[in-house]
Amino acid sequence: MSTNPLLADLPLFPLHTVLFPGGRLPLKIFEARYLDMARACLREGTPFGVCLLKSGNEIASPGDPSVPESIGCLAEITQCDVDTFGMLLIQARGTTRFRLLSHRVEPSNLLVGVAETIGDDAQLEDAEALVKFGACAEVLERIIDAIKARDPKDLPFNEPFLLDDPTWVSNRLSEILPIPMRARQKLMELEDAAARIDVVHHYMQQHQLL
């Protein structure tokens, strides 16, 4: 039986994107169900859950319900603004992964789930994994330096840059490499940093990025 904390009545935001722990998520919110959700999260200081869409659309469509993947990532709102048209502009940050146990559709069409959190990655132990991690960290550092030299505002992730953390490095590479979305979802689901490092290292070798 799992001992991971349960999250009841977790508001869900299914999207055509994968959010990783530590990742940045800018959103433009205009649908009433998500405006209400964001206001409640801001008021109560609670997260919402981001899931990749398995089927359906991001925008509510009668007779075409949104079906989320069963593993997603909690998001906390770090910045919020309103544009001249009343659209809510938020910046959110990925925190902890979760596994959906069930979900339902509220009368407002907002998806709400019961979920359990997923623990931190198993860390690297063997020498081969550490060598691959070092190579991946060097590539990511070069990418960061190149973007900062061009325009720091273009950086797709927030400081601090945890280049000595295998989970952080593998998550950031998984976000920025041109990997198909379903494969990116599988990378996010991995609970072993060495396994994720192995996949991104192999991808970069294949595409001559190492």
Task: Find the DSSP H helices in the chain.
Answer: 32-44, 127-150, 166-176, 181-189, 193-206
Domain boundary among 87, 117, 147: 117
Distance CA 188, CA 160 (A): 20
Token pair for 102: 């069930």
What 3-state class would DSSP assign to 73? strand
42-68 pLDDT, tens digit per residue, is: 999 999 999 999 987 777 666 677 889
Residue 1 is assigned to a structural domain of this protein: no
Domain that holds residue 107: 6-117
Distance CA 93, CA 34 (A): 17
84-111 pLDDT, tens digit per residue, is: 888 899 999 999 999 999 999 999 989 9
What CATH number should be reported for the domain holding residue 74?
2.30.130.40
Least confident of 8-17, 55-64, 118-127: 55-64
Domain boundary among 117, 150, 168: 117
Q: What are phi and psi of 47, to 5 degrees?
A: -85, 170
Domain boundary among 72, 92, 117: 117
What CATH number should be reported for the domain holding residue 194?
1.10.4060.10
Give me the pLDDT at residue 167, please: 96
Q: Which residue has the tokens 């869900």?
A: 12
All residues at 6 or more sequence positions from 105 whose CB lies less than 8 Å from its CB, including other chains: 65, 111, 112
pTM recorded for the entire structure? 0.92
Q: Which residue has the tokens 């009668």?
A: 62
